[in-house]
Amino acid sequence: MDYIKKTTKDNRINILLLCKCNSNISNLIDFDVVREWAKTNDDINLIITSNLLCSPQEKESISKLFKGDNKYTKFGKINSAIIAACSPKLHEKTFRDIAEANNINMSRIHMANIREQCAWVTKDKEKATKKAIRLISASINRSKYANDLEKTTMKVLSDILIIGGGIVGIKTALTFSKADRKVYLVDKNISIGGAVIKTEEVAPNMECSPCLLAPLLSEVRDNSNIEVITNAELEDVTGFFGNFTVSVKKKARFIEDNCIGCEECFDACPEIVKNKFHFNLGDRKAIYTLFAGSVPPTAAIDKENCKHFIDNSCEACIDSCPFKSINFEQQDEDITLKVGSIVVATGMENFNPSQITELGYKQIENVYTTYEFERLASSNGPTNGKIVLKNGEPPQSVAVIHCAGSLTENGLPYCSRVCCTNSLKVGALLRAENSEIEAYNIHNDMVLNNPNEYKFFNKQKQTGTKFIHCTNLSSIKIEKGAANGKIQITGDGFSALNVDMAVLSTGLLPSEGIKELAEKLNINLDDNNFIEPDHALLHNTGTVLDGIYAAGCAVAPSNVPTSITQGQAVAGDILSKLIPGKEIELEIMTSFIDEEKCSGCKLCISVCPFKAVSYNEEKLISVINEAICHGCGTCTAACPGGASTAKHFTDKEIYAEIGGLLND
């Protein structure tokens, strides 16, 4: 039943809409008591009780009420509406949209959550009713000090930045390019390709890795919509979804872009250093490329090991280069990019098991990780695809230890989900060279994510890999054998095993430098330093900052097809939102600074997580760029002089709300 009271002095009305939410609220809150209390409140002119305010019929009624096209027309235009119903997260926007459609500013709509915060937290009807009255009172008090909020829009930028040039970054970039978007593909290495280019075959189908990547690399190289920026790292990011400004530092490679990677200079260079691309299992020169056919093809000079930079004693590469590409004077380059969205596809690192001394890694010869083993098996690896021992001889027996350093206190506390399938590759790669070789997999649980991986597992059993069950993988110990250079492996549940080579199946870590990158992007990491998704179920590829996405192993350990699919999901989401020419609505409830009150202490600049505050050197005050401001209120809370104010969350509004809450 509705209740009508006198009008206000300015012939405007304030209404209270009570929603029963069918019986979700009314069964646990006494609406008769609430209405009787509301009748005594001088700031309410009209009380309307509804069964379900969010229903189409009731929304139509509210629209007519706001428009004045109803039996309450004589009261004039509504000043504010207090809606006592469910959580504002569910329907505050619903009611604000109705208000705006009828020329009522969104700031005039206030919700009191009497369902989740009252009806659903206690079975005591009296207590729930009393709390509901206090919440409604708080909203009424707050509404008195509301100021109109103005919407502003800005045209979006449709260019995309992808950080990480592995297979996820490459495939995602190509997807964007086919939608005619400009893509900047930035990678910290001198060439793109990521982790997959370091492998020979991709399990479980054992597809040739170089064969998969080579056409993709060529497509990126020849694509006018994709600009590859390698040997570069992100320095700074400001802005918001649709309008990011990104600073990138491109390090000098001391070789001009006319280099085609012919490798003539390699033979001339006298300096030999360990090759990180081969996990230090092979060597390279101080002037180098990562692999044949790399993109870009331009070589790079390792400044730390080049004799020209060390003591100015060598210029052999200059004399040998047929294209005169060497430029020792080349400088680092600062690049500014304007993009609408950012995709993080920085990949992963292999866990280093050196700290687990029982596994003998780096202590005993011929103990490798699976990723090192794959470099030995790779045609572009240090041994040209020949799997050999330290003495150059091929192994006759190899054992793979599963979960090496995983699920332990002194290693990785989690399962990486992809290691078991990768471990199965070892036997397949060995038998491709020698069908008589003995291959063992020492395991406890086997994690196989789909029928195809299980089929691969069965195939390895049938073709010769022997699977040994260990009841406690932490008990495994690798030692030098008694004779013939063998390695002895012992552990719970199986007899001692003597082999020529041991391969440690280690888990995956986030890529090196992810903490620094996350800080620059202002996104969160989880407990294991992977990028934390916006929502684990509903928005797994989004981050806490709208417009910044993550895919592949940057989010969690994942295999190649899953990682690529995540990249495609990111591309689809961005393409649906960043439409050229489209305008996006900027944050409305931003903060602003009162010039008369600001003392120029700069505290707000230091605490702003979005870099929205700058210092005006002429006026000696801080200034907020409202286009960048997210309205978090951090600067307002930190300001010692009260110069910073958060729109819609002013001191007056908050104090009034608290006062209404405390009123009996």
Measured between alpha carbons, how far is 32 from 26 in angstroms, rounded to an integer? 10
Residue 656, H or E segment: helix 651-662
Both structure tokens of 351: 């866990």
> How many residues are given for the chain?
664
Residue 462, H or E segment: helix 451-463
Measured between alpha carbons, how far is 80 from 110 in angstroms, rounded to an integer? 8
**Domains detected in the chain:** 3-143 (3.40.50), 160-251+333-347+511-577 (3.50.50.60), 264-320 (no CATH), 348-509 (3.50.50.60), 591-647 (3.30.70.20)
Measured between alpha carbons, how far is 661 from 112 in angstroms, rounded to an integer? 11
Q: State the chain's maximal CA–CA distance in angstroms.
A: 103
Tell me whether strands 78-85 and 13-19 are parallel, antiparallel or unpaired.
parallel
pTM, entire model: 0.88
Strand partners, 367: 502
Measured between alpha carbons, how far is 188 from 635 in angstroms, rounded to an integer? 34
Measured between alpha carbons, how far is 297 from 295 in angstroms, rounded to an integer? 5
* DSSP helix/strand/coil, 423: helix
Q: What is the pLDDT of residue 1?
A: 46
What is the block-wise mean pLDDT of the chain (664 residues), using blocks of 10 residues?
57 85 94 93 89 94 82 65 95 94 93 96 96 96 92 92 98 98 98 95 95 96 98 94 96 97 95 96 97 96 97 95 96 98 97 96 96 95 95 96 94 96 97 95 96 97 96 95 86 96 97 96 95 94 95 97 97 95 90 94 93 93 90 94 94 94 80
Measured between alpha carbons, how far is 453 from 202 in angstroms, rounded to an integer? 12
Q: What is the pLDDT of residue 579?
A: 92
Q: What distances in angstroms separate CA 138 from CA 22, 105, 237, 267, 551, one per listed residue?
A: 24, 20, 39, 79, 43
Strands lying side by side in the sheet with 160-163: 226-229, 183-186, 160-163, 341-344, 548-550
Q: What is the pLDDT of residue 463?
A: 96
Measured between alpha carbons, how far is 328 from 641 in angstroms, rounded to an integer? 54
Q: Name residues whose C-beta falls within 8 Å of residue 218's C-beta, 6 or more positions apart in sequence.
A: 295
**537 class by beta-carbon count within 10 Å (0-12 exposed, 13-18 middle, 19+ buried):** exposed
Distance spanning both ends of the chain, measured CA to CA: 25
* DSSP helix/strand/coil, 257: coil
Q: What is the pLDDT of residue 79?
A: 82
Contacts 24+ apart (CB under 8 A), 628-633: 628/238, 628/239, 628/240, 629/587, 629/590, 629/591, 630/240, 630/587, 630/590, 631/587, 631/588, 631/589, 631/590, 631/591, 633/591
Both structure tokens of 533: 């998704």
Q: What is the pLDDT of residue 628?
A: 85
